[in-house]
Amino acid sequence: MVRPDAWLRAFHAGERTCLERCYMDHLETVAHAVGSVVQGADRETLVHEVFFRLLSDASLRQSFTGGAFPSWLRVVARNQAIDYARRRRLEVELPDEKGGVPPADVVFDPSPLEVQFDARWTLERFRECCLPAKWRAVFDARFIAHHDQPTAARAIGMSRTTLAYQEHRIRRLLRRFVLGGESK
């Protein structure tokens, strides 16, 4: 029998055998906690991300100071699942250049070269006239380069939630620019 203080020291140190036992003993606890928020492949991915964080993040392990380990782990797993679900709700799908399906409220009609030029010219005018400089990197990554949110966030070096918030604000400005003239 391992003494509780010896187990806690081994857990904080990230000892392989301790973390392996933790995985074996608490896989179902984490799976159930994550499953209360997300399902399918996302659930499986998040379960493994929780254990990956336990393996790689010493500060996370240090945040457990004793008490009911399954309860603490359940809270960690559920919070990670909630954060993931919130980020996913903020994502917006855009049509890709290979004919991906646009969102239902977007009419996508292949257009002649003049219309494409006009659209590009409109985006450039919007960028120069109305877009705050602090949002230009997000605008370029999402609207010009057509990167998805995770790729754009990594390229810019910001969190995906911050990128999603700025993108939302940019869309509102762009809508006003296109529908209501060039006023800010």
State whether residue 183 is helix, strand or coil: coil
Confidence class for position 108, pLDDT limits 50, 70, 90: very low
**What domains can you pick out in the chain, each with its CATH number?**
4-90 (1.10.1740.10), 113-180 (1.10.10)
- Ranked by mean pLDDT, the top range of 58-62, 93-97, 114-118 is 58-62
- Given this model, what pLDDT does residue 175 score? 86
- Given this model, what pLDDT does residue 107 score? 45
In the chain, helix, strand, coil percent, each to 5? 70, 0, 30
Comparing 25-34, 101-110, 163-172, the range with the smallest average pLDDT is 101-110
Q: Is the model's pLDDT at 79 over the cut of 50?
A: yes
pTM beyond 0.75: the answer is no
pLDDT in tens, 35-45: 999 888 889 99
In this prediction, residues 10-36 reach a mean pLDDT of 94
**For the chain, what is the mean pLDDT?**
83
Q: Is the model's pLDDT at 167 over the cut of 70?
A: yes
